[in-house]
Amino acid sequence: MKNILFTASECTPFIKTGGLADVIGSLPQALVKENLANVRVILPKYGEIPDQWHEQMEEIASFPVRIGWRNQGAKLFKLEHDAITFYFIENHHYFERHGIYGYYDDGERFVFYSKAVIESLPYLDFVPDILHAHDWQAGLAVAFANILQPVKNMKTIFTIHNIKYQGMLHYEAFDDLFNIPREHFAGFEWNGMLNAMKSGIFHADKITTVSPTYAEEIKEPFYGEGLESLLRDRQGDLSGIINGINTDDYNPMKDPYIHANYQHSRVKKKENKKKLQEMIGLPVKPDVPMYIAISRFVEQKGFHLVEHILHDFLQQDVQVVILGTGEYEFESSFSWFAQNFPEKMATLLKFDEGLARQLYAAADFFLMPSKFEPCGLSQLISLQYKTVPIVRETGGLKDTVHPFNEFTGEGNGFSFQNYNAHELLEQMEYSLKIYHSDKLWQTLLKNVNKSKFSWTDSAVQYAELYKDLAASHTEGE
Ligand code: ADP
C-alpha cells in the first residue's frame, strides 16, 4: 500500500469554509477504511480551530522556514482522529487570525505553509510515496517538492477543486520569498504575476479535478479562468474523479441536528418541514412545496438567475428559504424578497451547519443553478436527504443529477443547459407540476432514493492513480 500525504488548507471537523474541507475530511478515511492507501493529512494550525482540537495536539518538532532573508519559526503538531494522523503547522504571525482567508498577505501565508510542508517531511515518521496537494493554497508545495526533491522518488498529484481561485502574488515575491533558483521562474509565472494554481498544474506529475465534466470544461476559455492553454498542454496527465460525501455523517436516519430522523418517509420529512416553518416564522403549511438554497453567495452559484426569477416564482403557492452569506448584492436582494414576501420567503444570513442540515431535511427541492461547479457537494447532500436538486448542467452537477423524464421515468432531479434565468424558471415550474402529480412525484422520489454517492467508488479511482503513478518511477529507473 502506498503512503500518501495530503496537503490542504481546510478540513472537517477542524476548520471549514466550503466543500474542500468536506473532501479532505472524508476521502482519507475512505481510502484507509477500504485498505486502499495509508493516508496522512497536513494542515495549517489556525487559531480559529476550536480549542477542543488544539488541546489534543501534541508538539513533535520545531524548525525554521526560510522566507527570503528571514527565518520564520514553524512548530509541527500531531493529532489522531478517526483512524487518520493529522499534522498541523503552527506560526502565530500567519495563522493566528480571525477567519482563514481574505488577508492582504494570503499569498505569503501559503508560501510559508507550502515551504513548511516540505521542511516538515523529515519529522513525520512517515515517508510519502506521493504528495497529494489540493487547490492553490497547496499548489506551491507541489512546485517546491518537484524542484527540491526532499524525498527520493516522491511523486506529486495536484487536485483542482476550483480553478477560479488561483492565489496570485506580485512577481517580485519570487526573489523576496521563494529562495528558489531563478531558472525556475517560468514555472510559477502567469501573465506577469506569480500564480500558485499554475505552479501546481505546471509541476505536478498528475493533475486531477473533482468531476469528469469539469476536467473537460476547464480546457475551454469559459471555464478555464485563463489557465485553459496550460491545461490543454497537460491534458494527458489530467483526469476527473467525482467527489463523494460521508454518508455516515450526512445520514438523515442518524443526524442529531434534525427534528425527526427518517430514511424514505415523506411523513417524517414533513414533520421536519413543519418544525422549520415554526422556527423561522413561515406559515406552517407542510403540503406547500419548499425550495431551498444553501451556499456561499457568489456569482458562481448562479444567484443572479435566482434573483431574476424570484419575483415571478413567488406568485405561486410555494415557500423559498435561502441560507448563506457572501456578496452584499445577494444578501441585500434576498433580504428584500424575504421582507416583501414574508409568507413565502425566508433569508437566513449565516453559516450554520445545524441549520443547514435542518433545511436539507425539511425541503422538497434544492436550487443550485451554478454558472460553473467543479463537483458540488450540496446537491449530493440534498439527494441524501431526499430533497430533489434543480441544477444547471455543468461540472459535477451534470455528472450527478440526471433530468427527470416523465415518459421514461428516469432521472433524479431537474436540470437545464444554458446560463439563462428563463430556463431555470421553466424547470422550477416543471418541478412544481411533478410535485402535484402524485404518480410522477413517487417515480421521481424512487430514483432519488436510489442515488448513492458514498466515497468508495471514488476512493478506488484515486487508489488506481496512486498505484500507476508510484509504479511509474520504478519503470523509469
Ligand atoms: P463550495 O465548496 O463551492 O462552497 P459545495 O457544494 O462543494 O460548494 O460545498 C458547500 C458545503 O458548505 C456544503 O457542505 C454546504 O452544506 C455547506 N454550506 C454552504 N453554505 C453554508 C451555510 N451558510 N451554512 C452551513 N453550511 C453551508
**Residue extent(s) of CATH 3.40.50.2000 domains in the chain:** 3-244+456-476, 266-452
Check pocket membership of 211 for ligand 1, CB cut-off 6 A.
Answer: no
Determine the Cα–Cα distance for residues 252 and 273; give it in Å rounded to an integer. Answer: 14
Residues 158 and 199: beta-carbon distance below 8 Å = no
Ligand 1 geometric centre to CA of 346 (Å): 18
Q: Cell 477504511 appears where? A: 33
Q: What's the grid cell of residue 207? A: 493533475
Regarding the beta carbon of 382 and ligand 1, being less than 6 Å apart is answered no
pLDDT at 439: 97
Query: How high is the pLDDT of residue 18?
Result: 84
Cα 296 to ligand 1 centre (Å): 7
Residue nearest to atom 12 of ligand 1 (CA): 18
> Is the shortest distance between the CB of 428 and ligand 1 below 6 Å?
no
Residue 294 Cβ contacting ligand 1 at under 6 Å: yes
DSSP label at residue 239: E
Q: Which atom of ligand 1 is nearest to the CA of 296?
A: 20
Instruction: Kindly give the number of the ligand 1 atom that is closest to the alpha carbon of 243.
Output: 7
Q: For a pocket test of ligand 1, which of 295, 298, 368 has the largest count of ligand atoms closer than 8 A to its C-beta?
A: 295
Residue 264 CA, ligand 1 centroid: distance in Å:
24
* Rounded Cα gap, residues 404 and 410, in angstroms: 6
Q: How far is the CA of 353 from the centre of ligand 1 (A)?
A: 9
* pLDDT reported for residue 473: 60
pLDDT of residue 371: 97
Binding residue numbers: 16
| Pocket-testing residue among 26, 296, 322, 387, ligand 1, by greatest number of atoms within 8 A of Cβ | 296
Dihedral pair phi/psi, residue 284, rounded to 5°: -80, 95
pLDDT at 141: 98
Report whether residue 139 contacts ligand 1, using a CB cutoff of 6 Å.
no
- The ligand 1 atom at the shortest distance from the C-alpha of residue 301 is 3
- For ligand 1, is residue 326 a contact (CB within 6 Å)? no
How is residue 328 written as a grid cell?
452584499
Binding residues for ADP-alpha-D-glucose: 16
User: Is 9 a pocket residue for ligand 1 (Cβ < 6 Å)?
Assistant: no
Pocket of ligand 1 contains residue 266 by CB under 6 Å: no
Residue 351 near ligand 1, beta carbon < 6 Å: yes
Query: Ligand 1 pocket, 299 CB below 6 A?
Result: no
Distance between Cα 295 and ligand 1 center (Å): 5
- Does CATH place domain 266-452 in 3.40.50.150? no
CB 121 within 8 A of CB 128: yes
Residue 95 CA to ligand 1 center (angstroms) comes to 23
Q: What is the pLDDT of residue 82?
A: 93
- Residue 116 makes CB contacts below 8 A (sequence gap 6+) with 65, 74, 89, 91
Residue ID of nearest Cα to ligand 1 atom 2: 19
Decide: 19 in ligand 1 pocket, CB within 6 A: yes
Name all contacts of 433-439 with Cβ < 8 Å and 24+ positions apart: 434/404, 434/406, 435/289, 435/364, 435/365
Confirm or reject: Cβ of 378 under 6 Å from ligand 1.
Answer: yes
Cα of 64 from ligand 1 centre, angstroms = 36
Q: Is domain 3-244+456-476 annotated with CATH 3.40.50.300?
A: no
CA distance 8 to 211: 18
| pLDDT at 471 (0 to 100) | 84
Could you tell me the distance, in angstroms and rounded to a whole number, from the CA of residue 16 to the centre of ligand 1? 9
What integer pLDDT is reported at residue 240 of this predicted model? Answer: 98
Residue nearest to atom 24 of ligand 1 (CA): 351
**Choice from 378, 382, 385, 387 to test ligand 1 binding pocket (greatest atom count within 8 A of CB):** 378
Sheet containing strand 84-90, edge to edge, reads 58-67, 70-81, 84-90, 38-44, 3-7, 130-134, 155-160, 206-209, 238-240
Distance CA 451, CA 444 (A): 11
Please provide the distance, in angstroms rounded to a whole number, between the alpha carbons at the two ends of the chain: 20
What is residue 246's predicted lDDT score, i.e. its pLDDT? 87
Cα(43) to ligand 1 centroid in Å equals: 20
**pLDDT of res. 452:** 86
Ligand 1 probe mutation, 325, 368, 377, 391, most atoms within 8 A of CB: 377
Strand partners, 290: 319
Residues of the chain with pLDDT under 70: 473-477
Evaluate: CB of 323 within 6 angstroms of ligand 1: yes
